[in-house]
Structure 1
Amino acid sequence: MGQFPKMLIIVGAILIGIGLLWQVGGKIIPLGKLPGDFLFRGENTTVYIPIVTSIIISIVLSLIFFIVGRFR
C-alpha cells in the first residue's frame, strides 16, 4: 500500500473523530454560541459571524498540527 491511501484513511478517521466529538461535545462546549459570536437579524436576512468559535478552532487545530509535526 502506498503513502497516499494510508494518508487518506488517517485523514478520514480524524474527520470522523472530530465529527463525533462535535456531536457529543456540542452539549458540553456550545461552539457557535460563545460570547463574541455575533448574530445580526434583520427583517429578511440573518448574518452570523463566529469570531470566537473560529479562534478556538484555529488554536486547537494549530496545536494538533504542531504535535503531529513534532513526531514526523
Structure 2
Amino acid sequence: MTGISKLLMTVGAIIFVVGFLMQFINIGKLPGDIVIKKGSTTFYFPIVTSILLSIILSAVFYFLGRFR
C-alpha cells in the first residue's frame, strides 16, 4: 500500500507544481491552437498546447520510472 500512496503523492505534487507554474508562464496561446469566435461565443481548442504538455509529462514520467 505504501507504493500507491507514494505514487498518489508524487502525482499530486506534480499537478500542483504544474498548476502553480502555469500562472506565470503563458503556455495557453501557442501558434496552432484553434480559436473560433462567432458573436459573443468563443471556442478554444488548445491542440498544440496539449501535444506539448503530453511530451513534457511523458518525459517526466519516463525519467521518474527510470530512476526509481
* TM-score, normalised relative to structure 1: 0.75
Task: Tell me, in whole angstroms, the C-alpha distance in 2 between the residues paired with 1:35 and 1:47.
Answer: 15
5+ long unaligned stretches in structure 2: none
Q: Give how far 1:44 is off.
A: 4.0
* TM-score, normalised relative to structure 2: 0.78
Residue 21 in 1 paired to residue 21 in 2?
A: yes
Question: Where does residue 51 of structure 1 map in the other structure?
Answer: 47
Q: Give how far 1:13 is off.
A: 1.7
Kindly tell me the number of residue pairs found equivalent between the two proteins. Answer: 68
Residue 68 in 1 paired to residue 38 in 2?
A: no
5+ long unaligned stretches in structure 1: none
Task: Tell me, in whole angstroms, the C-alpha distance in 1 between the residues paired with 2:10 and 2:55.
Answer: 21
Percent identical pairs in the alignment equals: 50
Structure 1 39/60 Cα, relative in aligned 2: closer, same or farther at 3 Å? Answer: same
Over the aligned positions, Cα root-mean-square deviation in angstroms equals: 1.8
Task: Tell me, in whole angstroms, the C-alpha distance in 1 between the residues paired with 2:41 and 2:9.
Answer: 40
Task: Tell me, in whole angstroms, the C-alpha distance in 1 between the residues paired with 2:27 and 2:51.
Answer: 11
